[in-house]
Amino acid sequence: MTLRQVFSFPDPANDYAARMVAGMVVAMSLAVILLGQHWLLWLIAYGFLARVLTGPTLSPAGLLATRVLTPLFGNHVKPTPGPPKRFAQGIGVVFSWTALALHFGFGLTGAAYGVLGVLVFFAGLEAFLGFCMGCFVFGWLMRWGFIPASVCETCNSLDFSGHKAKA
């Protein structure tokens, strides 16, 4: 595998695998909040950064979803554009690293839990309802011209949740 292949994001991405990863983020975040497993903040933050930079290639949750869980559940694939998913992972970087800094850097565990709570909400929407808020925001940013159409040609035929627009 070349360095370029390692540092790439799948396009299209598998929506089913993305939802599994989101479910793992929900589970780990709830373990931090409810069980005090603060060490998981490092894994959550690393996972988001790894997925932004490399897709599932260097992400433990991404690898588990794509190499173990997806095959275990029948190798179902639901293609979805990669750029909005990568954007959503970038938002996850901001939230997870903020929670990490609040807890370990500033000792503000309650504030870290608040940030993680927001992350749980949006990752839960993705995992359980298939609604990607980052994809939704990405679509609006494209519509308003902040993200050029050339970044995601496939996105032009989608509604703002990342799904095919109804004709």
Q: What is the pTM of this model?
A: 0.91
Secondary structure (DSSP) of 109-166? HHHHHHHHHHHHHHHHIIIII---HHHHHHHHHHHTTSS-GGG-GGGGGB-TTSSBPP
Cα(113)–Cα(102) distance, integer angstroms:
9
Which pLDDT score, from 0 to 100, does residue 167 have?
47
pLDDT at 158: 63
Question: How far is 50 from 45, CA to CA, in rounded Å?
Answer: 9
What is the pLDDT tens value at each position of the chain, 167 positions in all? 788 888 999 999 999 999 999 999 999 999 999 999 999 999 999 999 999 999 999 999 999 999 999 999 999 999 999 999 999 999 999 999 999 999 999 999 999 999 999 999 999 999 999 999 999 999 999 999 999 989 988 887 766 555 565 54
Per-residue pLDDT, 164? 62
Structure tokens at 154: 């496939």
**For residue 56, cis peptide bond before it (omega within 30 degrees of 0):** no
- Alpha-carbon gap, residue 121 to 26, rounded angstroms: 8
What pairing do the DSSP bridges indicate for beta strands 13-14 and 79-80? antiparallel
Please provide the DSSP assignment of 107-125 as one string: --HHHHHHHHHHHHHHHHI
pLDDT at 153: 85
